[in-house]
């Protein structure tokens, strides 16, 4: 009888251990999909589409905040049958709400459209690649609802399984401070502005734009 108990216990442990293949996240609604942290993946060049200021502010974002990335990690989303996507998840501490329904002095989880932390200081890379733990900036986001999804291999990823907000594109939806520089894509302002002295100056410009549109 003791041998039987031992076999049952070992079998149970094998089953439990096997659950690790489900990834690092418990997805409540996203059936047949696994999401896991990753540090190993093929890095590819990204060519962002051209966007207008109106696209960026009014079509592809509904929340603008200023804050600090407290932590960030790359993830692999596996839809099965070799359909995968490499993105990043960031914990963002919100200091100031410029527009939208976010709350100040809260930490939210943001799904980023591509991997982060792969750009050297000398590289001319998309903004998301420059995000690090401690990066301060202004972030243009979309609030996640129960209907926010991504689909691949006939499977549906419900964003609310992973995050509170998501960023639409890799290069147009943030203004960040890197060392003594303020970095952003000038298309954010229809190429009319190419530099800011500080994040405060950038925030003031955005508030002016939003006030003129209201």
Q: What is the mean pLDDT of each run of 10 residues along the chain (214 residues)?
A: 39 34 88 95 77 96 99 97 96 99 98 83 72 97 98 98 98 96 97 97 98 89
Written as one string, the DSSP assignment of 87-147 is EEEEEEEEEEEEESS--TTEEEEEEESS--S---TT----GGGG--TT-EEEEEEEE--TT
Of the CA atoms within 13 Å of residue 33, those in its CB half-sphere come to 28
What are the structural domain ranges in the chain?
10-213
pTM of the predicted model as reported, rounded to 2 decimal places: 0.87
Q: What is the pLDDT of residue 126?
A: 86
Q: What is the pLDDT of residue 7?
A: 38
Q: What is the pLDDT of residue 123?
A: 52
- What CA–CA distance (Å, rounded) separates 96 from 65? 6
| 8 Å CB contact between 140 and 57 | yes
């Amino acid at each position: 009888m003791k041998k039987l108990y031992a076999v049952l216990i070992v079998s149970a442990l094998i089953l439990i251990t096997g659950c690790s293949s489900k990834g690092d996240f418990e997805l409540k609604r996203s059936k047949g999909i696994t999401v896991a942290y990753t540090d190993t993946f093929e890095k590819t060049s990204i060519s962002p589409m051209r966007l207008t200021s109106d696209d960026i502010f009014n079509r592809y974002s509904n929340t603008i905040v200023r804050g600090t990335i407290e932590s960030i990690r790359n993830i692999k989303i596996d839809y099965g049958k070799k359909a995968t996507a490499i993105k990043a998840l960031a914990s963002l501490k919100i200091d100031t709400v410029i527009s939208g329904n976010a709350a100040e002095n809260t930490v939210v989880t943001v799904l980023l459209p591509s991997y982060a932390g792969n750009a050297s200081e000398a590289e001319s890379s998309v903004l998301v690649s420059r995000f690090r733990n401690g990066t301060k900036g202004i972030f243009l986001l979309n609030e996640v609802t129960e209907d926010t999804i991504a689909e691949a291999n006939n499977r549906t990823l419900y964003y609310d399984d992973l995050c509170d907000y998501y960023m639409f594109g890799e290069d147009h939806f943030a203004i960040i401070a890197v060392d003594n520089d303020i970095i952003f894509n000038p298309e954010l302002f229809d190429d009319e502005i190419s530099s800011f002295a500080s994040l405060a100056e950038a925030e003031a410009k955005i508030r002016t734009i939003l006030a003129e549109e209201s």
